Amino acid sequence: KMTKVWQLEGELLAGQLTEAAELLKAGELVAFPTETVYGLGADARSTQAVEQIFAAKGRPSDNPLIVHIASIGQLDELVLPYPELASRLMQQLWPGPLTIVLPVKPGAVSPLVTAGLATVGVRMPDHAAALELIGQANCPVAAPSANRSGRPSPTTAAHVLEDLDGAIAGIVDGGATGVGLESTVVELAGDNVIRILRPGGVTPEQLLLAAPDAMIDTPPAKAEATEAPRSPGMKYTHYAPQGDMEIVQGDAVEMTAYIRQAIAQAKSEGLKTGALVFAEREGDFDADVVLTYGGGKRQLEQAAQRLYAALRQFDAEGVQRIWAEGCEEQGIGLALMNRLAKAAGNQVTRL
Ligand code: TXA
Ligand code: MG
């Protein structure tokens, strides 16, 4: 199968997405940009279409998919009545990188989308091309991140092609995505508890601003192995590069010394080494591959944007041992540390 690429340049013109929307309607898979990462879209109502998502990604079928909508009006046909707190979050934070888990209307989407749960995760992406595509296709669009399972989420169309060329009908290329990490997934408990199932593009601080009376329930940085995963996706090891990775957090001087020593040791064992650090420390390490998050410590947004491309680059260069500088779990730093810890299989060293 040939994978078509629709290149979007400059202002979005309605006609540019007609063919992509027609393919979605016809039950084909179309990857598209969102503000977080690229999604792999299919008509959420069609089991035959959604089946192809799992096949193309090599994704376990017990992991449910997020349904993307372009307008609040589309929600009525998808979900049962939901709490007032949910509408407040939608009003304040949609379109945006927030997925809300709501009671699903029986029969509204393919059972493959919900993986048999009584709930469905819904979000309205903050991206003009995504909204236009979903609007033109005129259906709820199920879309996981457009990577092969176990690979970092794609933040460019080139990443999608790397993983899925020939396996999907097309890709809408809207350039690099803005946030660079996936959406925050929340469920609501009782009248005023917002439980974060997956930290992401919307920070706990933003949730609290949108719902000042709510309690925010944040998951522990390290999920307890014994606890049944609330968000089915959390139990899979995602985002892991092929090289063995360790996150190092703490005082800059100690961290630099620790990583330098570890690199020297690994090199003496003949291993290919990599380091991922903030730009101000780029020159401090003599790893075989030194990548930066860009900016200084406080520019966590830029770090989030670059993380997945960096992990892909380590793989492309065959790096065997990776050390990455951690950050504080504030703002987008919470999601960034969550993805770093996952990529490192929870090898996080706090100095
Ligand atoms: O930013 C994003 O969310 C991207 C873009 C494409 O929108 N999508 C994305 O999808 O990250 P995916 O499939 O890679 O991750 C979906 C996450 C998984 O952790 C899944 O377990 C959780 O959302 N999820 C989906 N439906 C759920 C539900 N009904 N209850 C609990 N968790 C759910
Ligand atoms: Mg994913």
SS3 label, residue 284: helix
Alpha helices, H only, 216-299: 252-268
Exposed/middle/buried for residue 271 (C-beta within 10 Å: 0-12, 13-18, 19+): middle
| End-to-end CA separation in angstroms for the chain | 51
Give the separation between CA 67 and CA 77, rounded to whole angstroms: 12
pLDDT in single tens digits along all 351 residues of the chain:
799 999 998 888 879 999 999 999 999 999 999 999 999 999 999 999 999 999 999 988 888 999 999 999 999 999 999 999 999 999 999 999 999 999 999 999 999 999 999 999 999 999 999 999 999 999 999 999 999 998 999 999 999 999 999 999 999 999 999 999 999 999 999 889 999 999 999 999 999 999 999 999 987 655 544 444 456 555 555 678 999 999 999 999 999 999 999 999 999 999 999 999 999 899 999 999 999 998 765 699 999 999 999 999 999 999 999 999 999 999 999 999 999 999 999 999 999
Give the separation between CA 51 and CA 112, rounded to whole angstroms: 7
Q: Complex ipTM above 0.95?
A: yes
Taking the centre of ligand 1 as the mean of its atom positions, its distance from the CA of residue 101, in whole angstroms, is 9
The beta strand positions in 176-261, using DSSP E, are 184-189, 193-198, 215-217, 244-249
Is 143 known as a binding-site position?
Answer: yes
Give the separation between CA 101 and CA 120, rounded to whole angstroms: 5
Mention every residue, 6+ apart, whose C-beta is less than 8 A from residue 158: none
Mutation probe of ligand 1 site: the residue of 145, 188, 307 with most atoms within 8 A of C-beta: 145
Exposed/middle/buried for residue 342 (C-beta within 10 Å: 0-12, 13-18, 19+): middle
